[in-house]
Structure 1
């Protein structure tokens, strides 16, 4: 090749080529039936002939479009290929010609064409690469003929469709369906097709999602557990896989999806990909959860009614005991007017307390909805009421109760009284000499609640701790403390329902209770009420 000023002349083509890689004799290539185009060293299209524009079905912009003028590119299996991964791009990056790499291009009108590219780099006289030239040969007719010949060689003349062929027919059939997300996946789970229903349900536009793996629809924990891969594997083995669970939209919101993944085969039983159909069942899930909640609520109320004989007995014992004690004192000091007046007042107070308890029990048993029992409740008043109930035993054992200021929360007063009474009674029962019970309070966000990692992240909680200096127990038995009729200390009196009732009361208030203890160092019961 000889040099003429800023051009190089090919002795074979008798055609001048500028040192920047452009052809001066463009008329020759304009009229050639073969699709030809050139790119500069950065991949920007610098020239194309009419045959290339006809093949692409569009006219690219000189100096703006890169690598290739095709609307979309696929490999021969139907998998989308980015323009910067096409053979022309590989030629410029690797500074060599690319051979025998068939591609499928899609025109804007949807027509797909098999092509065989022939990209080759261009260099100037100094060996610097200035760009590349590519010729695209339409081999669609050859590929169709090959498929026909392959099909005719079989006795039943089956059709060996490629995934790309299947996908094109599939796309036309399902594109308009909007109630189902219908996808076509290749063998590795990468998305090849996207219908309007998928865009509606999952939120991605087609150009945003094609070529990505369907793992993006799954929660992080499902991805970590390799649920998508397991579903693909199951579909490959059994022909179909189904799953129901939470999925993630583009905007991060979740929906409850029912998924069916079906293996796609050609007529020779080769796996060519998968179809994936997803239905949004969020509303059904919500309805089922609501029904389940109602059923659990009814079951919970039935159990509570069954246990209420124990609760009533437990609460009424202390007022009755006080009435008997005060009546005995009254009988022994019948002549002492001051003592008589004091003990009659105490008997009346205890009787009033019993009357209030009975009224609350009747009111509770007549209501089917716990929500109707909730009202603003001052826990300081609840604590003072419990202290009044326990004033005799506190005096007998020298019990000291220290408490910080407690909150007002929305709760069931009778049950909150029962909660405080059971926790204080439990602390007194398992105390040594000079029992000290410390009640502390703080408002806390759930991410700081080490005692309960399962609390919902969106909530803030009232945390109330009851700490005693009693005999304590081994921490490994903490869960057993809240089981019905279970006692950690067999030698103690009681039915073993007190702490079980505490847990039930906390659950009624959508909260949580836990305990931490060491033998000889007392115990701390901590309750959490959602704010």
Structure 2
């Protein structure tokens, strides 16, 4: 017979089990408080979390678990009062362990009543949530940093869409790029940023569908800002899914690549221009090299034809054949000149020119060349600027362009020539490198002809390229214009459309200087002379032809095959009146260096260069170097004769002037009688003296006139004669100095200035000795 448990002992067992349960919980602090907040029970969880043994805490007020500032603020009492009033109080906050460390606690206070309903205290359950708090703070900090990161990005529009495309957030970059503040776009559909045509085509919906199905949508296209302007956008849309892989929205990143696209387009245009310029440069080098050999050949042929001319006098048939041959040489010369112009290797002789006057000068020539069926209209801007240009070469360019226009109009139409001032800011022009910003004089030539296609425009400056029938054009007119304008520091641009005519615009740099008068052209009969001419030419056939031409004019002719041989003749002391030398010479010594060394030995010698291809030896910046005289190959006997005679006559005049200057002497002495006496002695010796009484007057005289000798006393009023000599030497390095003095200390000062000392008193013979070379 089994025992039956007593009804009185069963509840006691249940209370015991409950106490065991409460005391066994270690993750929660569970304890009781009396109505005034005194701890009167304590479980294992409370001991683990708060650090107090049961014996240490029973009978203590629960406020000791609060931090001091919360105790002073009355938080413990407020918690008890709230729980008593509402039946329950829950809070989270920092609490303090026995060892003084703090932890984040979740605390619940429940009011306790006995079976009769009397209030007997509180049940308090506390959980340590420090790790959760730290994790949450870390998450909050991470999210905050991410928000700051996204909001701080200004070069990208970063925002989110819901699954239907409604905008749910908005960063500052989106506001900057698209122009909308956040309040204006949140809750609106992202399709508002698309162009009207893209919206009509369903592009926004298609973008979301592609992103959702493939994981990404990436495109470039036009988008619209708030103000209606368009920008080129790089767009990336990616889907956002939850842990169940359900679509919850989209992330959208947009970048404004308008400037990048423009830069890429400009880079591509620059690449095309560079390739075009390189192609033209390569062709230019080739044609320039060919022109050099071609000009030498033409020089030999043309020179020998001219040497033959006197021998065929009286033979009409031979003269006719000779004339045809010479005409062929002249045609070849023009062709070679055009090739050099395209290659930018022709030696230009620019001068400050007003294009209005140039156009008036060639107006009659243009009208004769174009014929009566072409009407010419010229428009010139008021106050047209001057430009630095070779006028004769520019005349050729204008004539060539006008003849092309005549052919394009079929001999019947209107040609308009416009002259004006222009300011260019760097816009690239066809067939040229980037424009140097500045002021230019613009010459525009417009016809009413058939126009050109883009394919023809792309090749229009290439030499020998022509759309004319075979035999009707060389294809060098526009290529010559291109090379000449480039070499002159200008730019050229062609506008044309099929059926709408063509406009050629030439821009030449403005000159602020006054217009120069054209030099007088040599004319009259061909004359020679008896001076000595040194011919320096490496091509024996050209050399023989030139030597015979000069000898036939009466000159004494010396010849040298290269620069070293020429220098040997110069150093021998044999006087040379003129050196006639090719620019391009074999060997290590350049022709310009040869001339520089030769003039050290014979400073009065005139130098005339000749070449069929100048390279960069005597032409820099598109023009002849200062003081350089050039006779381009091929040249006629008459051209050679006139140029040589012109230079030798100029040399003779220069030598006479220098000799006269050397005989002019400035005498400086404050003693009037002595100064007059010295001047009389100098006149007796054949010199031309001029006397002044002070150093200051002497310096003023030296600034206004040419003197070969300064003869000065040392003791002068104001500035001394030694100081005068020093200043005069700095002003005129070639001035000879003579110091007249009886003082021995003047010798050292004179020696330092490379001056001769004339000891006072001196007689005529001593004065003559001081003046001796």
Could you tell me the TM-score, scaled by structure 2's length? 0.29
Report the structure number with the largest CA radius of gyration.
2
